[in-house]
Amino acid sequence: MTATPRVLLAEETACELGEGPVWDPHRQRLLWVDINRALVMIGVLEPSGRIQLVDTVAFEGTVGAVAVAVDGSWIVANGRELVTLDESGSSRRIATLIRAELDARLNDGKPDPVGRFVVGSLSLAGPSSTEILARVDGAGHVSVIDDDLTLSNGLAWSPDGTVMYSVDTERRSVYRRDYEPTTGRVGARETLIRFEEGFPDGICTDEEGCLWIAVWGAGQVRRYTPDGELVTTIVLDVPHVSSVAFAGLDLDVLVITTARQGLTEAQLARHPDSGKLFTTRPGVRGMRVSPWQGLREEKENP
């Protein structure tokens, strides 16, 4: 077990359901979301590890995740749909992934190693075992990877892109499967880690191929080897740790989002920093997350 790094309270804004931190290396800024308030937050990472909130962008409904293309445009998991937003503020719907009769929303999402957007769903109507994990390419074509999840959550890939990790939160499971980035072929799913306490939420990988996992309900971030061995536990004074991502010019800062949702007034009084943003320098660098590939127009057949 490695030494526990020091955790810094990085930004004072308390999100109801802070999630989905994303480092934009081309603009040297951090994005994260407040899901139920349908906000994308934009911040600047300072050398101290603190983050200065510089802007917010509001949507309607919910925002489960955001990713950035090289040209600065975004893909946003907005309610049931995926929408784009370019730097001029123009938006466009590219795919509806959840049928209108279902009481559900899109949740965590991330580009795969070649920039396709992978995103899952979450039931708003109680327990479910039919939530999806789907992949959308730049033309808006959708392929379903899983359709039997309880609550689709964090996503990550191995450094070489040939292993995909995904979270099924209510089953307290982190899955792994083979992945071919070029063809998009997905291998059989197997359980890598099953939690006895807390619920796995957002995840990311580091340059050594280890998994960093936010543990909702346990107030922890845990690091596991690719074989599923626990090697580091970071404890925060907030119960609901929701997601993690590496940020900074050298990807040496781990950003941790948290939430206030589901906490009682007594719990909030004991944990007043719930919902805020934290950072730490864990002594290892993260993997660069591929940019979203952006939209492309398909040519018509002659």
Catalytic positions, please? 201
Three-class HEC string of 35-75: CCCCEEEEEEECCCCCEEEEEEEECCCCEEEEEEECCCCEE
Rounded CA separation 246/207 (Å)? 10
User: What residues contact 302, with CB distance under 8 A and at least 6 apart?
Assistant: none
Q: Are 77 and 100 in contact (CB under 8 A)?
A: no
Rounded CA separation 60/80 (Å)? 11
Rounded CA separation 181/115 (Å)? 9
H helix and E strand count, the chain: 1, 24
**CA–centroid distance for 13 within its chain:** 19
